[in-house]
Structure formats: C-alpha cells, structure tokens
C-alpha cells in the first residue's frame, strides 16, 4: 500500500483558493467565487506556498502574477479537482452503482466489447462505463483506470487477472487478390506483402510454424491497428494475419478469404486486469462476472 505524505497533500481549502486565483486571474474575483474575503484568499495562498516551499506568485502592489511553477501546478490541481468533482457527482447521482473507467485495445473495443456492452448496461443499470483506448502498458498508480483489457501474458504490474480467451489467428486476403495471386502453399506468400503489427513481429513466424513449415522471411508492412489492417487487406494491399474473432464478419461477408490452415494458436491471450486495491468495487465485480459469462458463452458456440 502506498503511503500518502501529508506535506504533499495540502488542505482542500488551500487548493480551492489557488485554483480560483488561477482560473480568474484575480484575488478579488476568486474571493467572490469562493465566498471569502480577499485577505483570507491571500492568506490561504501564502499558506500553500509555505507548505510546498515554492513561490507560486510574484507580488506587485497587491497584484499576484503566477510563476512558471504555478502554471505547471495549476494544470495538475485543476485535473485533480475535476476528477474529485466528477466522482462526487457520480456518487450522489448513483450511490448504489458506480463509474467504471476501462482501458481497451482499439479494435477489441470496437469489434468485441462495444456490441456486447448494451447487455451489460441493461443487466447493471446503476453502472456507467467509460472506455479509453490504450496500446502501451501503463501504471494503475499513475492513470485513472479501474481496469484494462489487454493482449499478452498475465503480467500486468500490481494487478489481478482474469483470462478472457486464447487467441488464434488466420491469414486472410481479398478474393480478388487471391484470384490474381493464388496461394497453394506457404512458400507462395514469399512475394506478397504480409501485413503485421509492430507489437507482434513474431506473429508471421508463428503462423508459418503452425503450417508445419520453417519460418520464412517476411516482406512486411507495419500497421498499428487491426482495423487498418483489415481495410488494407480488403483493398488488396496484401495478406493480413488476423485474430479469428476480428476476421469473422469479413469472412462471413466474403470480403476476406482464409488462406491455408486457419485458427493457428498465437502466443498470447486476452486478459482483464485490475489493481488489487480496487478489486472489491461493485462496478468492477459486476464487470468481471458479466465478461466471464460472455467469454464462456463464446467458447461454447
């Protein structure tokens, strides 16, 4: 458990006075905004400076000019006060539910999670879900997320994990592309552009191994999202190596065709992770139970 140091957490009245002066640019207006006297606001600012050991304002004839340090500090304090305000408003409006802030991979969020979320919202009307896309790892201590859905191994620092499902991948290309460039064996891909993610540069090597052949040199083009890869393959740019859950719609509609052996196991899986300290949140418990039911239902289809 992280220890909070009192010196670095000033009293709320000090922060509100500082924020009001920064927002209004005037001690007089800030005092009116807070329902205090000008002298009280000035005294609160001085107390904050004394506690932090930093000069926040330059004083010229009873006028305060914020320093560069004050400008930087103001951004952080304003964000923190906004977060506290939103949390309090949410608690008052929805005391039995909660707001769940979830980080997700972009295409996973679009293709798998978003179509299922109405069912979750219907089953848990007291819970609100905010979604933000994230590619890179982050610290739960530094980011305002309650949970994350990611691909890889169950090694998120300081987190508990729930496995959603293993990933299998299938090489796909547009039917017009395959008509012009037939693929009968893995070696036929040697002259084709193989689309891949920078974060999964071993994926094609694993696919070749799954075809029972030695890995071959990859004539690749990097793309940072599967959604871009899917559209590029449909346009005939090259061959995409896609997780099966993402390729189903395009394959069913005939816009992409599987190549050779489908459903090759990949190295990772999809996981839900959350900080240990927040595991008892009502909203998070509801999400865990629901998403586990969804993934179990998918495995029985």
Residues 6+ apart with CB under 8 A from 286: 120, 123, 124, 127
Q: Are 291 and 164 in contact (CB under 8 A)?
A: yes
pLDDT at residue 97, rounded to an integer? 55
pLDDT at residue 20, rounded to an integer? 95
pLDDT at residue 88, rounded to an integer? 76
Which of 20, 101, 102 has its CA nearest to residue 64? 20
As to burial, measured by CB atoms within 10 angstroms (0-12 exposed, 13-18 middle, 19+ buried), residue 202 is middle
Range 171-194 average pLDDT: 94
Q: Are 19 and 75 in contact (CB under 8 A)?
A: no
Q: Are 48 and 56 in contact (CB under 8 A)?
A: yes
Q: Read off φ and ψ for residue 170, nearest 5 degrees.
A: -135, 135
pLDDT in tens, 90-114: 666 555 557 889 999 999 999 999 9
pLDDT higher than 60, residue 293? yes
Which carries the bigger pLDDT value, residue 174 or residue 268? 174
Q: In whole numbers, what is the pLDDT of the chain averaged over residues?
A: 90
Residues 6+ apart with CB under 8 A from 116: 294
- Kindly give the interhelix angle for 114-123 and 282-300, rounded to the nearest 10 degrees: 120
Give the integer Cα–Cα distance in Å for 289 and 278: 15
pLDDT higher than 90, residue 9? no
Half-sphere exposure of 193 (CA within 13 A, CB side): 13
Q: 42 by DSSP, 3-state: which? A: helix
pLDDT at residue 94, rounded to an integer? 55
Q: Percent of the chain beyond pLDDT 90? A: 69
pLDDT higher than 80, residue 18? yes
As to burial, measured by CB atoms within 10 angstroms (0-12 exposed, 13-18 middle, 19+ buried), residue 94 is middle
Give the integer Cα–Cα distance in Å for 16 and 34: 8
pLDDT at residue 1, rounded to an integer? 44
Top-ranked range on mean pLDDT: pick from 94-108, 197-211, 231-245: 231-245
């Amino acid at each position: 458990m992280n220890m909070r140091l009192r010196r670095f957490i000033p009293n709320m009245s000090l922060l509100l006075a500082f924020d009001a002066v920064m927002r209004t640019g005037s001690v007089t207006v800030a005092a009116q905004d807070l329902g205090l006297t000008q002298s009280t606001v000035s005294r609160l600012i001085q107390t904050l400076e004394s506690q932090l050991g930093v000069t926040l304002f330059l004083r010229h004839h009873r006028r305060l000019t914020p320093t560069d340090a004050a400008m930087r500090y103001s951004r952080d304090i304003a964000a923190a006060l906004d977060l506290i305000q939103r949390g309090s408003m949410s608690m008052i409006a929805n005391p039995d539910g909660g707001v769940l802030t979830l980080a997700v991979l972009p295409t996973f969020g679009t293709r798998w999670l978003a179509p299922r979320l109405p069912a979750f919202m219907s089953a848990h009307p007291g819970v609100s879900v905010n979604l933000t896309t994230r590619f890179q790892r982050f610290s739960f201590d530094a980011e305002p997320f309650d949970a994350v859905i990611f691909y890889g191994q169950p090694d998120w620092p300081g987190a508990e994990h729930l496995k959603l499902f293993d990933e299998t991948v299938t090489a796909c290309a547009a039917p017009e592309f395959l008509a012009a460039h037939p693929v009968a064996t893995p070696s036929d891909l040697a002259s084709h552009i193989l689309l891949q993610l920078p974060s999964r540069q071993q994926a094609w090597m694993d696919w070749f191994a799954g075809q029972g052949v030695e890995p071959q040199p990859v004539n690749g083009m990097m793309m940072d999202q599967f959604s871009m890869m899917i559209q590029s393959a449909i346009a005939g740019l090259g061959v995409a190596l896609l997780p099966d859950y993402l390729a189903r719609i395009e394959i069913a509609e005939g816009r992409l065709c599987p190549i050779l052996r489908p459903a090759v196991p990949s190295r990772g899986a999809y996981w839900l992770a959350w900080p240990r300290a927040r595991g008892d949140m009502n909203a998070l418990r509801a999400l865990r139970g629901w998403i586990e039911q969804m993934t179990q239902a998918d495995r029985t289809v």
